[in-house]
A and B are shown apart, each in its own frame.
Chain A
Amino acid sequence: MDFEDTPEQAQFRADVVAWLDANARRRTDNLLRGMEGEQAFLEAKDWYARKAAAGFACLTWPREYGGAGLTPLHDVIWAQEVAKYETRDAQFVIGIGNCGPAIMHFAEEAAKLELLPRMASAEDVWCQLFSEPSAGSDVAGLRTRAERKGDDWILNGQKIWTSGAQHSDYGVVLTRTDPTVSKYRGLTMFMIDMRQSGVEVRPIKQMDGGQHFNEVFFNDAVVPDNYRLGEVGGGWTGALTVLMSERLAISGVQPTGFPQFLDLVKSLELNGEPIANDPIVRERLATWYSQYAGLQAANKRMLTAVAKGGVAGAEASLGKLVGAVMNQEIANFACQLFGQAGIIQEDELSPEQAHFQKTVLFSPGVRLAGGTDEVMRNILAEQVLGLPQEPRADKGMAFQDIPNGKG
């Protein structure tokens, strides 16, 4: 057991730090707040372009696809160092983290050489189009149709909860190509050019007032067959690759709310007394810290396994399940500490620029996105602990015969 770098890793870390020092501002506090929307998007595009030019984009990807051809441990070193700077380093995690691995695995070589380097440098931005209004946790129940027409596929249907679709040049989309077979066997995955008239993106106004997600409508959208990912009818295998990559990609960046809570406990006085002296606050602090520290150490264990050539398994669901709930609980507890003022949500009046109030309203979405808490528990129970699956009412049925509650 050790946390030492090898000489080669130490050199890489030094290179990373030198480059970051020259290209980014050191973070002065734990809070990454500030600009959202268009401004953040443009800043992120610029950041990715610069790190790609310097050879720090997609460290584990092969060089011919725009990566650096390095190991997961180099990724870890990068993540450890970049976290100390004010950057938008995780802005395009959906494309690079989720779509990238599936494209590398399933796309034709020519498409990989054309598209991946532009994804790595964020010249092209990507989104992931899986969920539908009637296919959430049961994502294989999706209805968007893709029908073959010559060398093309014609898409019709609706996707929902698509992060970043309004900024995306391309997407990875899961469609139904055969409703007469079981729901898992009738799916096909494609890459799609989002900049076409058959694709319409509409923002969703969330319960917290933000607009992070979108609805995407396909009206005779066209996809050439050489943008198909995997076999016709083999889309579910590809989707699992994407979903597993997604859990891994977010396990490292999942907010827990703990660093902000620790800052609050260290700094806040109420009624002339530091809240750090309050036994209830101390109890919560210790409980959440033990979970937070556990997640960090669990991540180190997972990375050790990956570095030794293993694969990150369903254990990656752990970070999302624990972090998302903690984030919500911490925010709610903090607002309770503020007394009647807990309801006020003004950047000037509420501690940490109303971070906790905003989190109370945003955090329910985190427990739903990328697999609900309940889906995560099923994954852990079935794939890690080996418990039997729930009997399914749609087992063995053709997709078109599955009851959908709509008569």
Chain B
Amino acid sequence: MNFEFSEDQLFIRDQARNFLGQESTAAVVRSILDNPEPYHQPLWQKIVDLGWTAMAIPEAYGGLGLGYLELCVVAEELGRSLAPVPFSSSVYLATEAIKAWGNEQQKQRYLPRLAAGELIGTLASSEGQGALEVNATVEEGVLQGVKLPVPDGDVADFAVVIARDPNGDAGLYLVNLEGPGVQRRVLASMDPSRSQAQLTFAQAPVERLGESEDGCHALAELLDKAAVLFAFEQIGGSQAAMDMGIAYTRERYAFGRPVASFQAIKHKFADMFVALELARANAYYGAWALSCDAPDLPLAAATARVSATDAYYQITRENIQAHGGMGFTWEFDCHLYYRRAQLLSVAIGSQPQWKDAVASRLLDAA
């Protein structure tokens, strides 16, 4: 038994941590938060140059042919550094959808360009509040409907869209967002360091993504894989926020002693540590299940997701509390993590939906 990443994978993680520590600083994150730019282009280009967008793409399609474990360690670092780039949309969602269901011609057309960063893709599934409902329709090769929020929908070159055919059957489709019949509107959101858009499709030409039979089933499989990767982003961000609170309360004095020496504060951090360790352990198990496509991947992925969402919310919330008044200022970075925790907690489905998935999968398991 070996429940740890390999030396090579840990080396990739350390390199990613060093690189992002220098290139995805708080100043870089804030340059996107405070300005209309949708993402940090220079950082994105460097990430592409490092080959991270190509990592989990097979060599035959211009990728590096590495596995999900390598992607997991990079995801943790992207989360830790709050990287303001469309990585999750393009890599965990669009690339994985084409890898899983694209026909040969689609794979050859999209994957090399996704690997090389020439294309940015995303997934357009949500159509508004509540659990996923699919009202968008595809008839005679054109798409009608509204999708929101679409992560990076304002900058993506194409989207994987879920829509219904005239029989009412849901399927996955590819739509060129630069093409006709597509209207984009940038949406204001709680985390402006990442962009969200509303996409309105009026007679937008689409093609079916490969032979993806049942679109809802395909989407669920796609989101399970993504849930593990998002969980790694969440634990990376959780660790960074907790470290920030520890550093601050060790240095700040009140009543003649470090704030961190009060049990009320220490126990708060102990609870944060517990939440993070459980989330990390579940994410590791999810990574293992993802890497070998284990039969219990759906349960493992949903569990990793639930646990990481709980931890990131708790830790970013209590990090503000531990900082006191300064934690409520724009100047301190506490809110950057708090915002990102909110974004990641609903991206790919909110906590009640994932909890219900855990319950269903656990009860169905035996």
A282 touches B2 (CB 8 A): no
| Total residue contacts A-B, CB cutoff 8 A | 159
What string of 1s and 0s marks CB contacts (under 8 Å) between B218-251 and chain A? 0000000000000000000000000000100110
What string of 1s and 0s marks CB contacts (under 8 Å) between B269-307 and chain A? 111011001111110110110011000000010010011
Known pairs A298-B281, A377-B266, A377-B267; A283 contacts B4 (CB<8 A): no
Mark the stretch among A104-112, A300-308, A399-407 that contacts chain B: A300-308
Cβ of B362 < 8 Å from any Cβ of A?
yes
Closest to B357 in A: A286
Task: Count chain A CB atoms within 10 A of each CB in B250, B269, B277 and give the residue with the most.
Answer: B277
Chain A residues within an 8 Å CB radius of B4: 1, 301, 304-305, 308
Considering only residues 264-322 of chain A, those with a C-beta below 8 Å from chain B are 265-266, 276, 279, 282-283, 285-287, 289-291, 293-298, 300-301, 303-305, 307-308, 315, 318, 321-322
Cβ of A231 < 8 Å from any Cβ of B?
no
Considering only residues 369-394 of chain A, those with a C-beta below 8 Å from chain B are 374, 376-378, 380-382, 384-391
C-alpha gap A304/B288 in the complex (Å): 14
- The contact of B270 among A262, A385, A390, by CB within 8 Å, is A385
C-alpha gap A381/B267 in the complex (Å): 7
C-alpha gap A307/B2 in the complex (Å): 9
| Distance to closest chain A CB from B79 (angstroms) | 18
| Distance to closest chain B CB from A127 (angstroms) | 30
Q: Is the interface of B mostly helix, strand, loop or mixed?
A: helix
C-alpha gap A5/B2 in the complex (Å): 9
B246 touches A282 (CB 8 A): no
C-alpha gap A235/B269 in the complex (Å): 31
C-alpha gap A290/B291 in the complex (Å): 20
Chain B residues within an 8 Å CB radius of A283: 352, 355-356, 359
- The contact of A294 among B282, B292, B354, B359, by CB within 8 Å, is B282
A3 touches B284 (CB 8 A): no
A295 touches B1 (CB 8 A): no
Chain B residues within an 8 Å CB radius of A318: 274, 277-278
B363 touches A384 (CB 8 A): no
A291 touches B278 (CB 8 A): yes
Task: Count chain B CB atoms within 10 A of each CB in A293, A304, A318, A378 and give the residue with the most.
Answer: A293
Chain A residues within an 8 Å CB radius of B257: 388, 391
Cβ of A4 < 8 Å from any Cβ of B?
yes
Known pairs A1-B284, A322-B274; A387 contacts B266 (CB<8 A): yes
Known pairs A1-B284, A381-B266, A385-B270; A289 contacts B277 (CB<8 A): no
A1 touches B288 (CB 8 A): yes
Cβ of B69 < 8 Å from any Cβ of A?
yes
Cβ of B167 < 8 Å from any Cβ of A?
no
- The contact of B1 among A73, A374, A387, by CB within 8 Å, is A73
Cβ of A83 < 8 Å from any Cβ of B?
no
Chain B residues within an 8 Å CB radius of A380: 270, 273-274
Cβ of A114 < 8 Å from any Cβ of B?
no
Pick 25 A–B contacts, CB within 8 A, sort by A. A1-B288, A2-B1, A2-B292, A5-B1, A262-B362, A283-B352, A286-B355, A289-B303, A289-B362, A291-B307, A293-B303, A294-B277, A294-B282, A297-B284, A300-B285, A304-B3, A315-B277, A318-B274, A377-B266, A378-B266, A381-B269, A385-B246, A387-B246, A387-B266, A388-B258
Chain A interface (Cβ within 8 Å of chain B)? 1-5, 73, 76, 262, 265-266, 276, 279, 282-283, 285-287, 289-291, 293-298, 300-301, 303-305, 307-308, 315, 318, 321-322, 374, 376-378, 380-382, 384-391
In the complex, besides A4-B1, A321-B274, A378-B263, 6 extra interface pairs with C-beta distance below 8 angstroms are: A1-B5, A385-B270, A387-B246, A388-B250, A388-B260, A390-B261
